[in-house]
């Protein structure tokens, strides 16, 4: 009889813990804007795609010059790959409303072999065609560049 009570207590505790963890996971996943690459591994000059879901409380806009940057992993830290200056005005464009989805397709440049992510500057709650001022950053999952 004691074994049945102990088993019942363990079972009820496990259910409560699983429910609590599910609730926390759901709250965290709903509140984050997610940027996901279409593959885990790419080669230089290959097509890449990233999909971004807006879970901010307002619309988000992307830069007309550089909608994303490449970050390379180096000994556990991320180093941004710098681009040349933009020859045109950097304005907010390709805005996405709350819960909207934006996808970018691009060709990978010549990058060294290694682990990368995209660093995506966004302007949260700005208007299309305003001067782009990044006030948030979102990052993709890590992906690998191979030869």
How does pLDDT run across 25-68, given as a tens digit for each residue?
A: 444 444 466 899 999 999 878 899 999 999 888 899 999 988 88
Lowest mean pLDDT, pick from 3-12, 47-56, 76-85, 127-136: 3-12
Please, are residues 89 and 120 in contact by the beta-carbon 8 Å criterion?
A: no
Enumerate the β-bridge partners of residue 49.
105
- Asked whether the predicted pLDDT for residue 1 surpasses 90, the reply is no
Give the pair of three-digit tokens for residue 1.
């009889």
CATH code assigned to 33-146? 2.60.40.1930
According to the model, what pLDDT value does residue 115 have?
A: 95
Q: What pLDDT shows up at residue 87?
A: 87
- Contact between 147 and 42 under an 8 Å Cβ cutoff? The reply is no
**Do residues 50 and 103 make contact, with C-beta atoms less than 8 angstroms apart?**
yes
State the Cα–Cα distance between residues 90 and 61, nearest whole angstrom.
Answer: 12
d(CA 35, CA 102): 9
Global model pTM greater than 0.75: no
CA 140 from chain centre, in angstroms, equals: 4
pLDDT at 67: 87
Side-chain half-sphere exposure of 84, counting CA atoms within 13 A: 2
**What is the tens place of the pLDDT at every residue in 90-146?**
999 989 999 999 998 988 888 889 999 999 999 988 899 999 999 999 999 999 999
d(CA 63, CA 122) in angstroms, rounded, equals 7
The predicted pLDDT at position 30 comes to 45
pLDDT for the residue numbered 119: 94
pLDDT at 20 > cutoff 60:
no
Please check whether residue 62 is in contact with residue 122, taking contact to mean a CB–CB distance below 8 angstroms: yes
pLDDT: which is higher, 69 or 8: 69
CA distances from 30 to 5, 57, 98 (A): 37, 11, 12
């Amino acid at each position: 009889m004691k074994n049945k009570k102990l088993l019942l207590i363990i079972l009820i505790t496990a259910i409560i813990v699983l429910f609590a963890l599910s609730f926390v996971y759901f709250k965290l996943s709903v509140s984050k804007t997610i940027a996901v690459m279409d593959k885990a591994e790419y080669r230089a000059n290959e097509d890449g795609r990233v999909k971004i879901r807006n879970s901010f409380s307002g619309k988000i806009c992307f830069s007309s010059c550089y909608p994303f940057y490449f970050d390379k992993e180096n000994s556990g830290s991320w180093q941004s790959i710098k681009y040349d200056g933009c020859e045109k005005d950097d304005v907010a464009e390709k805005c996405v409303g709350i819960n909207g989805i934006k996808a970018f397709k691009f060709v990978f440049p010549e990058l060294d072999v290694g682990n990368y992510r995209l660093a995506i500057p966004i302007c949260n709650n700005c208007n299309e065609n305003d001067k782009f001022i990044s006030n948030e950053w979102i990052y993709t999952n890590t992906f690998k560049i191979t030869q």
